[in-house]
Structure 1
Amino acid sequence: MKGKKATVLTFADKCKNILASNWQGHLNTIKADAKGSKEDIYTSKVKYILRRGKPYIWVPEKDLHNVNTIIDERGSFAVSSPIPGPLPSLLGSMKKLPARVALTGDVEPLKDGKAQSATESLREVLLSEQKVISQCSYTVSGVLSSSNLSYASRSESLKKLLEGDEKYVVYKFNFRSSMFIDGNGGAYEVDFEDIKASKADPLAPFSAMLIDGINQNGARRRALILFCFIYLNAHARVRH
């Protein structure tokens, strides 16, 4: 059987898929004190959802970002492809990093009404993903359910924003520039309007669960390699 050529994704598509598949990234803001901006960078990992093409970020109430953005709204946000389980260590041993997106722009705090609207969007995202999972075939459900929910499930992680005791401040990240960085460190500037206009792969929110679920079973890994070889003209191999 002759293999079919895979659809070529633009850098904007790749950026959108990464942003849609992950749920946490590193937010960078400029440190501030009573005298103003100190020009040093403060970084922490935060959770987010993608809404209308922009990241909406939940920052813990006691996080230093909340002070920094009062003085200076400038910031950057870095998100990588979600690689669950032992795969990051494997990539590190090969001196490779997951593909990632780097955004620069302004970190805009949302007032009560807009923050509540963002929270409702978060609830809708969780309900939508749960509905998709419940409607999956037996085979796909088996793959998803065998993944480790503690680190591979986007929904389980985001659900903690609603169910936990910790309080958050919600921000919208208005990015002005964007960069796609591949696994070899190659950086490519991407028009942020192209990212906003592109559409994410429907499987993107479940990619971490699918990857982890497949890697839990040797037969699944071999089947995936065969699929790539026959249908995608791609070379793949098992690494232990």
Structure 2
Amino acid sequence: MSTKKLALTFADRCRNILAANWQAHLNTIKADAKGSKNDIYSSKVHYMIMRGKPYLWVQEGDMHNMNTIIDERASLSVSSIIPGPLMGLIRSVKKFPPRVALAGDIRLLNFPPRVALAGDIRLLNDDKVQVVTESLAESVVTEHETVDQASYAVSAILSSATTSCRSRIENLHCILKESSNYNVYKFNIRSCTHVDGSGGTHDVEPNEVKAPEADLLMPFFEQLVDGINQSQIRRRALMLFCLEYCNVTARDALLLSVDHNGFDVLAKVPETVNNSTSNQQYHWKEFRFNFKEQAHDVEAFCRMLVELEEEALERVKSYSGLG
């Protein structure tokens, strides 16, 4: 177990956000018959990553379809998924959720993104739309097979998530059923900037943020995070991690995010270290826990998580006399 916060590069964080989500806010320049007006129009769109590039599904009738005929410049902001009780907590501690923003020559963003990618948007012809749609359908089949063949450990966590938490592929499956109502665009990335929760920006090379072709972990991001947070036993295990690996006593803990290298925990810990508990003040602090090896899929992630839980429990038994 490693708890070094800098284990993930900014490029890693960008890739994780893009791979986990399926929807974003697209911003284009409003246009009429005379050309661009320099005003910005924004709406939510769906996307998937194919061959390292984002492909967008924009509903027919959306103003983006007209705007991009006149001006292909655009910006796309992708937020990290914050399921269940996490959003209320993050807002209370004034911590912005991670985001990815894909932008063309326009850099206007309506909220603090965690990642900003710049490029241009191009409408696909029917042949290319068919290729992208088939790729999406294959992804849907792959994820369903993963769920059907999942072990008990994986199924237990995924089934604990609230009904509002659906995986990325389940949401994109709705697009497949209504594909005739959408236009498909390719977003060509020109630049990338990671923006942290405090508003700090970090430039990343575009070729470093390409998501893997077949990611068998991040599509389950929302269900994993919420499923673990819905379990009091799992949350107590997160508190135990803070004690055993960070030497910090936590009163509560929630899983903040997961990735191939480990996970982040938001824990309620003492503001100061002292022996008095009567007037002790607590605050929420983020902790990073890294696996000893990469979790290539959801099965590996859950297996490594269980191993960490067992390891932490054995450590407690070794010095408490409970073994």
* Same structural fold, with TM-score higher than 0.5 when normalized by the shorter chain: yes
2:20 is matched with 21
Which protein shows a greater Rg?
A: 2
Q: Percent identity?
A: 55
Assess, with a 3 A threshold, how the Cα gap between structure 1 residues 164 and 196 changes in structure 2: closer, same or farther.
closer
Assess, with a 3 A threshold, how the Cα gap between structure 1 residues 197 and 167 changes in structure 2: closer, same or farther.
closer
Give the C-alpha shift of residue 9 in structure 1. Answer: 1.5
1:223 is matched with 237
1:197 & 1:214 partners in 2: Cα distance?
25
Aligned 8 A contact 1:13 1:198 in 2: no
1:52 & 1:234 partners in 2: Cα distance?
43
1:8-157 to 2 correspondences below 5 Å:
8-101=7-100, 102-157=116-171
2:3 & 2:215 partners in 1: Cα distance?
17
Letter in 2 for 1:31: K
Q: Secondary structure at the match of 1:178?
A: strand
Letter in 1 for 2:177: E
2:201 & 2:227 partners in 1: Cα distance?
30
Give the C-alpha shift of residue 181 in structure 1. Answer: 1.2
2:196 is matched with 182
Structure 1 vs Structure 2 CA RMSD: 2.4
1:209 is matched with 223
Structure 2 residue 207 is the aligned partner of structure 1 residue 193 = yes
Q: Secondary structure at the match of 1:238?
A: strand
2:226 & 2:212 partners in 1: Cα distance?
26
Structure 2 residue 156 is the aligned partner of structure 1 residue 158 = no
Q: Secondary structure at the match of 1:13?
A: helix
1:118 & 1:175 partners in 2: Cα distance?
17
1:170 is matched with 184
Give the C-alpha shift of residue 86 in structure 1. Answer: 3.0
Assess, with a 3 A threshold, how the Cα gap between structure 1 residues 201 and 156 changes in structure 2: closer, same or farther.
closer
Give the C-alpha shift of residue 25 in structure 1. Answer: 0.8
Give the C-alpha shift of residue 38 in structure 1. Answer: 0.5
Letter in 2 for 1:94: V
Letter in 2 for 1:44: S
Assess, with a 3 A threshold, how the Cα gap between structure 1 residues 136 and 202 changes in structure 2: closer, same or farther.
same
TM-score, scaled relative to structure 1? 0.90
Give the C-alpha shift of residue 74 in structure 1. Answer: 0.6
TM-score, scaled relative to structure 2? 0.68
- Aligned pair count reads 237
Assess, with a 3 A threshold, how the Cα gap between structure 1 residues 119 and 105 changes in structure 2: closer, same or farther.
same
Q: Secondary structure at the match of 1:150?
A: coil
1:156 & 1:186 partners in 2: Cα distance?
33
Give the C-alpha shift of residue 192 in structure 1. Answer: 0.3
- What are the superposed Cα offsets for residues 46-76 of structure 1, whole Å, 9 maximum, x if unpaired? 1111111111110001111000000000111
Return the match for 2:2 from 4, 9, 23.
Answer: 4
2:290 is matched with none
2:226 & 2:149 partners in 1: Cα distance?
20
Give the C-alpha shift of residue 225 in structure 1. Answer: 3.3
- What are the superposed Cα offsets for residues 191-220 of structure 1, whole Å, 9 maximum, x if unpaired? 101113878974211111101111222112
Give the C-alpha shift of residue 136 in structure 1. Answer: 1.9
Structure 2 residue 253 is the aligned partner of structure 1 residue 238 = yes
Q: Which consecutive unaligned segments of at least 5 residues does structure 2 have?
A: 101-115, 255-267, 269-323
